[in-house]
Structure 1
Amino acid sequence: MKTLTKAQLIYRTKLCILFIIAGLAISGITAFPIESELAYFNNHLNSFPALLQPWLHTVYNGLRQTNLNYPFLSYGTDWLAFAHLMLAILFIGPLLNPVKNSWVIQFGLIACLLIIPLAFIAGPIRHIPFFWQLIDCSFGVVAAVPLGIAYFNIRRLEQRQFN
């Protein structure tokens, strides 16, 4: 394995962290207009695999009816969106100083791991189809890759006493 310089390790670590920040920010921003997004998807169901079409239609109708009758329930989704944005901000610390803020990367890895039991426990209780539970789990698996790389690089930086 090629030995990387301090600058290379920091650059690669920051790229991984930027990926996480972007993913969290996009997730947060796109959660606010969820009914509009689902309406668009519902109007273009043929663009999606056949397995997803009935589920997307059901989710859109459920959300539309809920918002018509109980719009205050979407306040929970607003807080979910806000939480994603706050988590994105949390990762600015390791972006600025990865070694000093490695605990945030550890927190992210733990969160990625905990997505899996949450999906498989809450999913059946909430009548979420199994294939959608797998999609939810994939977010944790995908995010764990750059977080794991970042964490590995931070440990290498610490071992070489570059801080």
Structure 2
Amino acid sequence: MSLEHRKAISGYAFILNGAAVSWSSKQQEITALSTTEAEYIALTYTAKEAMWYHYFLAELFGPISIPFIIYSDNQSAISLAHAELGQFHARTKHIDIRYHFIREKIQEGTFEVIYCPTSEMTADILTKALASFKFKPLVEALGLISA
């Protein structure tokens, strides 16, 4: 989180055959009112980038019949992404409609959001400072250095 603006940092990494092929670390455009909201917005950023890979791979190999997997370490954000419209309305009605893109793509079957323990979340390397004993395994998981 940026202490100056109090805006969360979103990060994602796309891994193909054990190596990172794309990654990003970006300050969110809005100030999220909760960690769940910040993680939900990060899921949408990730889904927008993943759509390009979805189209690219479909162009190379034909239609893709299984959903792309997106991992998140926030179970509340995952629940929100999988929720029916209006299910969390009282707590989420302020979230801009564009951030519900992830929910639409899950309902279409394009993506599936699955829980990943924080200790294994490779994208954390892009969003926060980590102690070296946490940093090195994540760098290895991204395929940026050999194990």
Structure-1-length-normalised TM-score: 0.26
Q: Going by fraction, where is helix more abundant, 1 or 2?
A: 1
Task: Identify the structure with bigger relative contact order (alpha carbons < 8 Å, sequence gap 6+).
Answer: 1
Q: Going by fraction, where is strand more abundant, 1 or 2?
A: 2
Structure number with greater Rg is: 1
